[in-house]
Structures are given as C-alpha cells and as structure tokens.
With several copies, the nearest count.
Chain A
Amino acid sequence: MPKQVDDADKKLNPTPLLDELEDGKWPSFISGYKEWIKQSGNTMTRGVLDQLQYSYETKMGYWKGGVVGVHGYGAGVISRYSMIPDKYPEAKEFHTMRVQPAPGLHYSTKKLNEILDVWEKYGSGLLSMHGQTGNLQLQGIDQDSVQECFDELNKLGWDLGGAGATVRTGASCVGPARCEMACYDSLNAHYQVLSYFTDLIHRPQLPYKAKFKFSGCPNDCSNSIQRADYAVIGTWKDDIQMDEAEVAAFIADKGVEYLVNNVITRCPTDAITLENGSIAIENSDCVRCMHCINVMPKALSPGKERGITLLVGGKGHLKVGNMLGSVMIPFLKMDGQEDIDNLIDIIDRMIDWWAEEALDHERIGECIERVGMVAFLEAAGIETTVDMIAHPRDNPYFKADHDHNPQIKSIA
C-alpha cells in the first residue's frame, strides 16, 4: 500500500538536475511526477525521484533485480530493489507490474479509470503507457501489495504480461478498427494467438523470450519485422484494386511529372510503367510494398484475396547483430477461426522446435541461423518455398542426395 506524507513542505526533496527537465515545450515527466507527489504525498515516488536525482549526479544506475511475483505465475512483475536503500530507504522497492492491454491499445475510459483506481490504492501512481513491447506498465509497488493489487485488477478483467523466458505481451497496429489498408483482422488474430499462449506468458518454460506483433499490412505500423520473433503482416494475392476515375483525378491534380517521379520511379520492382499518360501495373511483378497505394489511397487499394505473411526471427542485436524477421509462411488466408487455428498450430510447432533446439538465451532467429533454415522448416513441418529467400545460394557448398535427379519441364 502506498505510504503518504501529508505535510506539504516535505512532500518533495530538492532535485535540481531533474528540475532542468521541466523546461521546454514537450511534456515533462519530471513535472508530472512532482505534481503527483505534491498531490498524493506518495513517499515511494519521492524516494525514486531522489534516487534518480542521485543517478543524474553520479551518472550511474542503482537498481537491482530480485524475484517478486503473484501466486501461480512465474512472470509479469519486474522486481527492483535499490542498491543504496540506506541512502534512499523510500525507494527500497519499486517493482513494475506489466499489464496486458487490449489489441491495438484501445481503451474505454471506463476500463482505464478502473485500472487507475486500483493503482491509486496500491501503487506509486506512476505508469508507463506503454512499454516498447506493448504492456501497460504499472511502475512502483512493494512486494507486500503485489498480490492484492493483481487480484483486484484481475477481477476487473486484466491480466499480467510476459517477462523473462516467456511468450511476451503482443502488439498490433490500429488495424481494421480505423485503417483502410488492413488486409486481415489483425486485432482478432492478436487476441486469439496471445490468448492461446496465456500459459506460456505466465510461466517461463522457454529458452528465452518470444514476441508477437501484428500489422494489418506491409507498412508494418507495429514494427513487427525487427521487434518480434513472430511478425504477422497482412498482404494480398490478387491484383491491386484500382479506381480508374480516382487515378485520373490524381493525375489531373498532380501532373504526370509528379506521377513519374513519385510513383513510377519509386516502385521497387519497376512494376509500374507509364502508359498513355497514366499508370499500368504489372501485378505479377508487384511485391506488395504498399508505396503506390500509400501515395494514392483514394485510387488504389490492396487486392481482395487477403491474408497474412508470417516472418520469424526479428530481434535486437544481442550477440549476432540486429535481425529482421524472415518469411517462413509466405501466405495464409485469415478469414475465420479455422485460419487462426491453423496459424496458431504452425507457430506452436515452431515454438516446440525452438524449445528443443535452442541454446540458453538464444532467440528463434539466432537458432534458425545457426541450425539452418531448412532444418528448422522440416522439423516444424513447413514446406520450403522460394518466397522464403531473397535469392538462392551463391556458393556450391551443400550436400544433395547422390541420386538427386531434377525433373526439368521442357518449355517452348
């Protein structure tokens, strides 16, 4: 439970370096914290601010980890103990509870206020909306309050997110809720996939973390390709939908030179040519990059045969250098429950393989790189296709069957 001091003068200690962050036009977190401390008299927050001032003076951090959790779960609370509790006893404990928000970070004020009410009762009053992975982070609670706080939140329908060697909280773009580009119901997929993995979110049973992000289209507004082990990106198979009248209106408005220099020359595969003063799209050359659609959203839209591409292995640079996800499932339609079950089934097989194969602290992308993409795909029962590579190998160092004998279709 938060401790409070009521004497207005004592609510804040001097934090001269931090105070410099109250200047400037961007919202100041320091001003926010000070306002709150002044209002609440929350001593944990005061202690944290004092320790932060000390960090600014000494240019060093003073938190260490530990083990704090809720009944039955092995993850979801990031525990923080001050390394200098004698100096800042009020900051002795400052644990964070990671709460999973709804897909797309949508809230009703009713539900959000409910969280705030509980947090006001148990916590520091600080929160982070949102963490980079996608959690609503309730920052600053002591060990004794964690369980009660969680129970109250849980009663209201909230649950903890992942941490450590678990499936992590997912993230998704605004998707079909407000975006005309969305090629599948990314929010529903997010909801279903992450619900399925709830057990793996709460209990560390994996070699390392596993993250999911969902983007409605290749614009990838959820940054899935680099920030998620499993990136689910909407796409389409048939032709770009073109509204001829709107194309003409665009050209009338902007001119042919604008069209050439901003649309035609920017297509990555030269799939668009100038024909009779307008554009012709060779859809079989189109790589679904979105650019022409982005520039002309009234005139062009994704095709009608829609689904997702699954890219696996995105992550930060630890150990092997930054990794972008690689295509492992080029296309999966995503129209109903069956399709989502299918996606879950595929990911399940991938996770099973990884759980068996990975070294400690090895993300699936690193593991695939070490073991080889084909070995991974075969073990996960996924057909290898040419869409999974940018190009075939450029070295002859492989071991085919001795009796490999390709069947060449005679053409022409």
Chain B
Amino acid sequence: MQKRTYQTQESGLPHHMEMLHPVSRKNYGQWKYHERPRPGVLKHVAHGGDILYTVRAGTHRQVTIPIVRRLCKLADKYADGHLRWTVRNNVEFMTPNEANIAPLISELEALGHPVGGTGPSVSAIAHTQGWLHCDIPATDASGVAKSVMDALYDDFVKEEMPNRVRLATSCCEINCGGQADIAIVVQHTRPPRINHNILKDICEMPSTVARCPVAAIRPTTVNGKPSLMVVEEKCIYCGACFGACPAMEINHPEHSKFAVWVGGKNSNARSKPSNMRLVCHGLANNPPRWPEVTQVLKNILSAYKNGGKDWERLGEWIDRIGWKRFFEETGLPFDKYMIDNYRHARTSFNQSAHIRF
C-alpha cells in the first residue's frame, strides 16, 4: 500500500435532502393522503395538490454492480434520477408522471424484478448473511430467502392477504433477521462440542464463560491445560458462546435445524407490538431448496389468507381464532417444547378460563 496522504473526513452519514426526488423535497412534510392504484404502486397526494407515484419492486438484496447500475438507469429514465430502498430491501421509484408507471413496470419485470409488496401483500423477506459471509451461521440465508420468495411470488405481486405480511429468516439462533409475522430461524438441538485443539489458543475464557445465559460453561483442565467444559444438563443450546469463541462448535450439519415463529408485530396498530412465538421446530436444514421450510410457510399463509379478517395481522388473527385452531388450520403439530420454561414462563400460561373449543 502506498503511503497515505488523505486526511479522513469523519463526515458521518450523508444528508437526505440532496437524495430526495424533487417532488418529495418540495412537498416534504406536506403529504395529505395516499391510495394504492394497483399492487406495487402507491399514489401520494400533497396538501398543495402535487401527486407522487411510487413503484415498488423486489430485489435480490445480495446484489452486484450491474444490477444496481441497471436500477439507476431506470431511475434516470423514469424517476428523475432518484430511487430509494425500503427497509425490506425493495427498491422504489417515484414519479409525478402517471404515464411513466406502465413502462417502468414492464422494464422492471423484464429485468426480473417483481412489482408488488404494497398493501396487504407478502413483502420481501428480511434476511441475513449465512454461509456467504457470517462467521457463525448454520445455514445460508440468501438461499432460504430465494426459495421462500419463489414459493410466495404470487403473494408478493398481489394484495390478497388480510393485512401486510412481514417475513424474516436468520441463519443462526441469534436472529439478525429480527422479528416478523413469520420468521424462520435456525434452532440448535444440542450443546456445543468443544474443539479443545483450538480452544486453548483462541479463547478468551472468562468472557466466553460470561456469555452463557445459564452459567453452563465452567473452567476445567484438559490435558493439563486450562480449558472449558459445558454442563450439558444446564445448556439451552443457545449458541451465544460460539459468538464469543469459535471453539464452542454449536453448528452441526444435521442437528442445527429450523424453527418457525409467528405473530411478531412491531407496529402499534390496534394491538400492542408483540413478540413472535415458536410454532414449529426440528425442520431439516436442507439446501439448496429447503422444501420443508417452504411448505410450513405456505401452510401458514394459506390458512391466514383464508381465515383472517381485513386488517388483522397474522398474530391478531391467531388472537381471535386461538392457538389451537392456528395449529389445526396450518397442519402444524403443537408440542410440549412450545410451552415456555424460561424466565417469564408464567406469563405465558393460560391464567383464565378463556378457552375456545
């Protein structure tokens, strides 16, 4: 590397104003209402009368220079040189010009970008790094995401769900995908195996011990050297130690499985935000297409689509029909592992005579 002469400008994040579409800038904070002319298209009307159309399309999230360049070209052609991404990795083009919509959609579709994800649709799945980049993954996130979205393509381009559906998938139990209406998360099913060969060289033992939520890791001696051991009865297979020390090998090609969680809700609409809950586990980690996982998602979504009332988010639908019918209607087996036994378990018991029969 050459000698460095440049002095870093610790500039932080860029300002948004220069990035905004001109109509957006002009009507900043002056929007009055919106409509959805068709799936994937929004129409926002400003108090002053200006109209701004938005076309939303799915992407691969894990993109490349040519892909993004092509999107920029479309933005230059139809959206006055501006574009944005949504929090769910969809790309959005804005234009005041209604006539731009149809050709823009055609070009997006021709490039393989589905137009949709608005209103009561299944939007793009939030996903994570997986085998592609992370140091602790038990599966590949992008591959799962692609497989799932292939199966749900129609639900993205149509608006036929009771309310918007957010999906997420995560490649280890840590769950960088965050919570969602339906989340697919790796679930470990055994304690970490300790790789004593490497542990002694790479492990900051006290901080690894401290990382365990249930104090299952204890100092020990292996071949005369200080090392660590896991008390298997205590261990809850969380994998937190693996993040602290790569010798705590939690991942396993057969025993790291998938779990499915439902009913996470971040919005405050109607019900308070709620945590997602476990409804299926032990699903095979089955690359390259993960058909077991996809099947579960399809089951859940089809039951929700059939049974949900307008505006009911997935968790709210379950709140109305009850968990028993959720399991019946989705074909998923309820089992005893779904009954909480962790710190606040009591608060999940049915402390009432409210039962649906």
Mutual binders A and B:
yes
Supply 5 further A-B pairs (C-beta < 8 A) apart from A27-B59, A390-B349, A394-B277: A26-B60, A107-B19, A112-B83, A322-B275, A392-B334
Residue on A nearest B207 in the bound complex, by CB: A360
Kindly list chain B residues whose C-beta atoms are within 8 Å of the C-beta of A411: 299, 302-303, 329-331
Instruction: Take A154-B8, A180-B31, A269-B320 as given contacts and tell me if A396 and B16 are in contact as well, using a CB distance cutoff of 8 Å.
Output: no
Give 24 pairs: A residue, B residue, CB < 8 Å, sorted on A.
A18-B143, A21-B289, A26-B153, A27-B58, A27-B146, A28-B146, A56-B140, A130-B89, A147-B1, A154-B9, A188-B16, A289-B268, A318-B174, A326-B346, A361-B210, A369-B346, A377-B336, A392-B277, A393-B337, A396-B173, A398-B342, A399-B337, A402-B189, A410-B299
Contact between chains at B270 and A266 (CB < 8 Å): yes
Kindly list chain B residues whose C-beta atoms are within 8 Å of the C-beta of A269: 319-320, 322, 356
B276 to chain A, nearest CB (A): 7
Kindly list chain A residues whose C-beta atoms are within 8 Å of the C-beta of B327: 386
Residues 15-36 of A, flagged 1 when their CB comes within 8 A of B and 0 if not, give 0011011011111111011011
Residues 48-85 of A, flagged 1 when their CB comes within 8 A of B and 0 if not, give 10001001101111111100001111000010100000
Q: How far apart sit A405 and B354, CA to CA, in the bound complex (Å)?
A: 31
Contact between chains at A291 and B270 (CB < 8 Å): yes
Kindly list chain A residues whose C-beta atoms are within 8 Å of the C-beta of B190: 402
A-contacting residues, B166-187, CB 8 Å: 173-179, 185, 187
Which residue from B9, B16, B58 sits with its C-beta under 8 Å from A106? Answer: B16
Contact between chains at A373 and B133 (CB < 8 Å): no
Q: How far apart sit A262 and B207, CA to CA, in the bound complex (Å)?
A: 52
Kindly list chain B residues whose C-beta atoms are within 8 Å of the C-beta of A73: 8
Closest 3 CB pairs of A and B: A24-B150, A409-B331, A59-B253
**Which of B61-69, B97-105, B222-230 forms part of the interface with chain A?**
B61-69
B-contacting residues, A118-176, CB 8 Å: 119-120, 125-130, 132, 134, 139, 144, 147-148, 150-151, 154-155, 157-159, 169-171, 173-174, 176
Kindly list chain A residues whose C-beta atoms are within 8 Å of the C-beta of B357: 236-238, 288, 330-331
Residue on B nearest A298 in the bound complex, by CB: B33
Contact between chains at B133 and A324 (CB < 8 Å): no
Q: How far apart sit A380 and B104, CA to CA, in the bound complex (Å)?
A: 51
Any A CB within 8 A of the CB of B220: no
Contact between chains at B266 and A174 (CB < 8 Å): no
Contact between chains at B58 and A72 (CB < 8 Å): no
Residue on A nearest B131 in the bound complex, by CB: A55
Q: How far apart sit A301 and B30, CA to CA, in the bound complex (Å)?
A: 12
Contact between chains at A218 and B68 (CB < 8 Å): no
Contact between chains at B356 and A25 (CB < 8 Å): no
Contact between chains at B81 and A110 (CB < 8 Å): yes
Kindly list chain A residues whose C-beta atoms are within 8 Å of the C-beta of B150: 23-26
Residue on A nearest B277 in the bound complex, by CB: A392
Interface size class of A (residues with CB under 8 A): 35 or more
Residue on B nearest A271 in the bound complex, by CB: B320
Kindly list chain B residues whose C-beta atoms are within 8 Å of the C-beta of A170: 13
Residue on A nearest B330 in the bound complex, by CB: A411
Kindly list chain A residues whose C-beta atoms are within 8 Å of the C-beta of B306: 412
Any B CB within 8 A of the CB of A92: no
Q: How far apart sit A48 and B64, CA to CA, in the bound complex (Å)?
A: 14
Contact between chains at A178 and B52 (CB < 8 Å): yes
Contact between chains at A180 and B44 (CB < 8 Å): yes
Contact between chains at A404 and B282 (CB < 8 Å): yes
Residues 285-303 of A, flagged 1 when their CB comes within 8 A of B and 0 if not, give 1111111001101100100
Instruction: Take A191-B16, A396-B173 as given contacts and tell me if A29 and B269 are in contact as well, using a CB distance cutoff of 8 Å.
Output: no
Contact between chains at A326 and B16 (CB < 8 Å): no
Any B CB within 8 A of the CB of A205: no
Contact between chains at B288 and A20 (CB < 8 Å): yes
Contact between chains at A400 and B189 (CB < 8 Å): yes
Which residue from B149, B189, B279, B319 sits with its C-beta under 8 Å from A392? Answer: B279
Q: How far apart sit A373 and B44, CA to CA, in the bound complex (Å)?
A: 41
Any A CB within 8 A of the CB of B339: yes
Any B CB within 8 A of the CB of A268: yes
Any B CB within 8 A of the CB of A97: no
Contact between chains at A27 and B133 (CB < 8 Å): no
